[in-house]
């Protein structure tokens, strides 16, 4: 894959990136519940193309710590600017939503909060605790990089989520343009090493968007770095420009290429891989962790 470096001109999406709207009104239950409980989802704020499908299946990725981010990543549609105080009741409401939706597995992500001393780590812990009080759901966290704060990472690890996910997003050469000057590729790798060193029973996961100008060689080198750092699970998906304010797409990868890259990732050594145009970091997350009871018991024994 020798990737082009110039953005594509404005043109219709390839046929494989056109989705049918789910029939029926099953997505209304999830949308109303989220609205009634005054919660945020990355599905809405990031303009995820899978939103209606996931809502129709009564699932969502909850976004905590508000709806305004302190970072200005080149790809992201979440609002940027002045943040509001952390909502102390939010963990309870997230847990209530998970209970009413009957989720077996829940993914909790966040806006980046560089304005908080711990980046919001304690709020993640309180959300995990609230979930365990009234649900039996396995828990996957998808936090920010906590601005390089190792103690904040440790605090979340010590709450023992079953999966600790952090998106690498792109290859090192494109980090500045895609993730912004505050993000650090070396720290991304260091986080995975830190997580596994502190609790090897926690599953580690990362995701990358493709089509931003990366080459195949750069991608495979990044995957090798992630494996060496202790990352076990991987998602690869097509970057889709949420609006004209975000970075343009450089290339659309065909489904066959995603399949081949997924196979290459498995050969490298990733335990679970989801690779496809519509794959996102939390898409079908429950299926990725499987039903390995021994791993879940190992985590639970340390709670």
Domain span holding position 177: 24-300
**156: domain CATH number?**
3.20.20.70
pLDDT, tens only, 57-101? 777 889 999 999 998 887 677 788 899 999 999 999 999 999 999
- Over residues 90-146, the pLDDT tens digits come to 999 999 999 999 999 999 999 999 999 999 999 999 999 999 999 999 999 999 999
What is the number of structural domains in the chain? 1
For residue 184, tell me if it sits in a domain.
yes
Q: Which of 131, 128, 146, 122 is nearest to 100 (CA)?
A: 131
pTM (whole model) above 0.85: yes
Domain assignment present for residue 5? The answer is no
Residue written as tokens 């580690």? 204
Whether residue 36 is contained in a domain is answered as: yes
Is pLDDT above 70 for 239? Answer: yes
In a domain, 113, yes or no: yes
Q: Is residue 152 part of a domain?
A: yes
Provide mean pLDDT across the span 219-242.
96
Q: Which of 13-22, 60-69, 192-201, 229-238 is predicted with the least confidence, judged by mean pLDDT?
A: 13-22
Count of C-beta atoms within a 10 Å radius of residue 151: 9
Phi/psi at 294 (5° precision): -65, -40
> For residue 3, is it within any domain?
no
CB 76 within 8 A of CB 241: no
pLDDT at 245: 83
| In a domain? residue 235 | yes
Is residue 11 included in any domain, yes or no?
no
């Amino acid at each position: 894959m020798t990737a082009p470096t110039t953005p594509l001109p404005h043109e219709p999406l390839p046929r494989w990136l056109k989705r049918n709207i789910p029939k029926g009104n099953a997505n209304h239950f999830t949308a109303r519940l989220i609205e009634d409980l005054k919660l945020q989802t990355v599905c809405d704020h990031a303009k995820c193309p899978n939103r209606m499908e996931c809502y129709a299946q009564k699932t969502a990725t909850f976004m905590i710590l508000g709806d305004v981010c302190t970072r200005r990543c080149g790809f992201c549609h979440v609002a940027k600017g002045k943040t509001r105080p952390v909502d102390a009741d939010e963990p309870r409401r997230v847990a209530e939503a998970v209970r009413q939706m009957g989720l077996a597995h829940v993914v909790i992500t966040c806006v980046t909060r560089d304005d908080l001393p711990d980046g919001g780590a304690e709020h993640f812990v309180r959300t995990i605790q609230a979930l365990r009080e009234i649900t039996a759901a396995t828990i996957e966290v998808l936090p920010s990089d906590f601005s390089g704060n190792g103690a904040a990472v440790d605090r979340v690890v010590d709450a023992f989520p079953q999966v600790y996910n952090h998106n690498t997003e792109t290859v090192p050469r494109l980090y500045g343009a895609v993730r912004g000057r505050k993000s650090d590729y070396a720290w991304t790798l260091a986080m995975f090493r830190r997580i596994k060193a502190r609790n090897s029973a926690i599953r580690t996961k990362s995701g990358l968007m493709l089509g931003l100008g990366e080459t195949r060689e750069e991608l495979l080198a990044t995957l090798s770095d992630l494996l060496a750092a202790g990352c076990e699970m991987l998602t690869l998906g097509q970057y889709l420009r949420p609006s004209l304010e975000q970075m343009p797409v450089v290339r659309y990868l065909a489904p066959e290429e995603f399949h081949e890259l997924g196979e290459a990732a498995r050969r490298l050594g990733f335990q679970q891989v989801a690779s496809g145009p519509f794959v996102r970091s939390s898409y079908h997350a429950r299926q990725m962790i499987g039903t390995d009871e021994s791993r879940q018991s190992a985590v639970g024994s340390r709670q």
